[in-house]
Chain A
Amino acid sequence: MSEPVPPEQAHRRAIFDPDEGQGAVSHPWWRHHVRVLYLEDEDLPAEVVLYILQREEPQAFQIQRTTSLAATVAALNQNAYDVVLIDLNLPDSEGWETFAAVHRAAPETAVVILTGDPDTEIAVRAVGEGAQDYLYKHELNVPGLLTRVLHYAVTRHHIDQALRAANRSLEQRNQELQRTMASLEQTRLALVESEKIKSMGQMAAGIAHEIKNPLAIIRMGLDYLSGAQPEKAPQAIARTLPEMVSALDRANTILSEMLDYAAPRALQVEAFPLNEVVREALVIMGTSLCTSGIEVLADLDEELPEIELDRQKMIQVMINLIGNASQAMPNGGLLRIRTRRTQFPVDSSDATSEGMPEIALLEVQDSGTGIREEDLEHVFDPFFTTRAGSGGTGLGLSVCKMILDLHGGRLTLQNHPDGGSVATIQFIL
């Protein structure tokens, strides 16, 4: 290893040994110094530059000088520099071409242009294309200017490099993110499609089951009729026809409920008393309840304000809830219907009432055996029924819930602590 050379000697050697020591000066204690490659074909300005740097910061710079573009490119290919200080007009290159060739040879190295040309067009363009700065030769006598320009050029260049690296990294991460998002979107679409197919499959299976059963009744009835002896035909018809008609009606009901479920979901709302909905439904269901031995106890809050609702659809909901309650009490019982005004949320005992919205509440409670715990979470699923084979299609509560959802209301069903189950409708007032 060669002995360390004092900075002054090194500068001298570099300056007076042009193009021969391309990379010769790399002493260890200068590692932290600014490594400058200085391209200047004329000796006098080169002497001036060296003199200024030596005078102002003797320890700061490690300089290697070249006098032609070719030698400069060769040095850049061979060694690493912090900054290239270049004169643009050389024997083997002129103006913009000089900068372009140097920048091309070392795009990662800061470039400062030192020009004697008063026209700044090329220098300004070079700064736009990646040079860090430019200096006029006649400005070199400004104290501290050259050293400051070189230091700043290196610092700015490092910052530029770091920013570019960060930018590249960000760009890369952005691309990865885009790819991940595209992949997630594809997965989401696949899941949606798969769920759609699954729910269509379940729906189709439900419809098929509910329609096939009445069809089976009709088929069995028709087969019986076609096999009956002519003289016994009236009796055969009497024995089969009512059940076939009933099966037809059942299939029709299922299809109607299906259509309700899938129908355009627009409501025709008007301000209407909730109590009136209850009364109209009770009128429609009255005979049926009476013949089933069910006593009705209606406790309706007459102070309840009118609610924006679709009268027909809400009556449909009430008929359905009353019908369910009635079927839960095959041997008769007590049907309690209650409306009241209360604070939201109804089912949270520790909530403070202050600031909470008021709600209108409608409860339909039966005194039947209640709902099995394992069935409670499925009661609103389409085609879920505990009355298969006895007229239950499993669509009634699904349709009711959908209607309440459309109203922005809420429908829940739970077992009552005193026995039986209670359906609760809530509207925010």
Chain B
Amino acid sequence: MSKRILIIDDEVSFTRLMSMNLEDTGDFEVKIENDPLKATQTAKYFKPDVVILDILMPGKSGLQLATEWESSEELGAIPIIFLTAAMSKDQPDVENALFIKHQVLIKPVSFTQLIDTIRQVLKK
């Protein structure tokens, strides 16, 4: 049974290409949400096994979304892979508890690295 992946990122082209790559593996059912303000609703409806979440988005940041989900019964247990161009490993934000709890990937990321991380997260 294929795993469901929800991609939340306002970069339309990027999400489309990532989705194409993921779907080509035949292992995943992928849903894209480019509007962070609709992301919670989409997550509740789609019930993803893993969420790939951008951080810097207009209207609501990925960190705000993840913080809201922490206390949600429905969404609190979903593993998150933060995928962002807004930070580097040297930045103090990496000390944030949410970043420690979940996975963080820095753009540009290779598809191999992305798929390895997704499989690793799903195994847990």
CB of A388 within 8 A of CB of B57, answer: yes
CB of B11 within 8 A of CB of A217, answer: yes
A239 to B13, CA, bound (A): 11
Which residues from chain A contact B13 at a C-beta distance below 8 Å? 217, 243, 246-247
A311 to B112, CA, bound (A): 50
CB of B9 within 8 A of CB of A240, answer: no
Interface 1/0 per residue, B61-97 and A, CB below 8 Å: 0000000000000000000000001101000000000
**Interface check A220, CB cutoff 8 A:** yes
20 additional A-B residue pairs with CB within 8 Å, beyond A205-B86, A220-B18, A220-B21: A208-B85, A209-B85, A213-B14, A213-B107, A216-B85, A219-B109, A220-B14, A220-B17, A223-B110, A227-B24, A246-B13, A386-B58, A388-B57, A388-B58, A389-B9, A389-B11, A389-B12, A389-B34, A389-B58, A390-B10
Q: How large is the interface on B (under 10, 10 to 19, 20 to 34, 35 or more residues)?
A: 20 to 34
Which residues from chain A contact B17 at a C-beta distance below 8 Å? 217, 220-221, 224, 240, 243
**Interface check B56, CB cutoff 8 A:** yes
Most chain B CB atoms below 10 A, which of A205, A219, A239, A390:
A219
Contact of A209 among B9, B56, B58 (CB under 8 A): B56
Which residues from chain A contact B10 at a C-beta distance below 8 Å? 388-390
Q: Count the A-B residue pairs with Cβ separation under 8 angstroms: how many? A: 74
B48, chain A: closest CB distance, angstroms = 19
Contact of A216 among B20, B56, B107 (CB under 8 A): B107
A387 to B56, CA, bound (A): 11
Which residues from chain B contact A289 at a C-beta distance below 8 Å? none
Which residues from chain A contact B106 at a C-beta distance below 8 Å? 212
CB of B58 within 8 A of CB of A239, answer: no
A386 to B59, CA, bound (A): 8
Interface 1/0 per residue, A209-248 and B, CB below 8 Å: 1001101111111011001100000000001100100110
A:231-286 near B, CB below 8 Å: 239-240, 243, 246-247
Which residues from chain A contact B12 at a C-beta distance below 8 Å? 389-390
Q: Given A223-B21, A223-B110, A388-B58, check contact A217 B14 (CB 8 Å).
A: yes
B91, closest chain A residue (CB): A205
B17, chain A: closest CB distance, angstroms = 4
A165 to B67, CA, bound (A): 69
**Interface check B46, CB cutoff 8 A:** no
A212 to B108, CA, bound (A): 6
**Interface check B60, CB cutoff 8 A:** no
Most chain B CB atoms below 10 A, which of A221, A246, A388, A389:
A389
B22, chain A: closest CB distance, angstroms = 10
CB of A216 within 8 A of CB of B86, answer: no
CB of B11 within 8 A of CB of A216, answer: yes
Which residues from chain A contact B14 at a C-beta distance below 8 Å? 213, 216-217, 220
B54, chain A: closest CB distance, angstroms = 8
Q: Given A224-B24, A389-B57, check contact A216 B109 (CB 8 Å).
A: yes
A:73-128 near B, CB below 8 Å: none
A sample of 13 cross-chain residue pairs with beta-carbon separation below 8 angstroms, ordered by A number, consists of A213-B85, A215-B108, A216-B85, A220-B17, A220-B108, A220-B111, A223-B21, A224-B20, A227-B24, A386-B58, A387-B58, A389-B10, A389-B11
A243 to B18, CA, bound (A): 12
Most chain B CB atoms below 10 A, which of A205, A220, A224:
A220
Most chain A CB atoms below 10 A, which of B57, B108, B109:
B108
**Interface check B16, CB cutoff 8 A:** yes
Which residues from chain A contact B21 at a C-beta distance below 8 Å? 220, 223-224, 227
B16, chain A: closest CB distance, angstroms = 7
A215, closest chain B residue (CB): B108
Which residues from chain A contact B16 at a C-beta distance below 8 Å? 243
Most chain B CB atoms below 10 A, which of A212, A223, A387, A388:
A223
CB of B58 within 8 A of CB of A223, answer: no
Which residues from chain A contact B111 at a C-beta distance below 8 Å? 219-220, 223-224, 227
A424 to B13, CA, bound (A): 34
Q: Given A209-B86, A213-B85, check contact A219 B108 (CB 8 Å).
A: yes
A240, chain B: closest CB distance, angstroms = 6
A216 to B10, CA, bound (A): 13
Which residues from chain A contact B57 at a C-beta distance below 8 Å? 388-389
A218, closest chain B residue (CB): B108
B:101-116 near A, CB below 8 Å: 106-112
A204, chain B: closest CB distance, angstroms = 10
B104, chain A: closest CB distance, angstroms = 14
A210, closest chain B residue (CB): B85
A28 to B5, CA, bound (A): 106
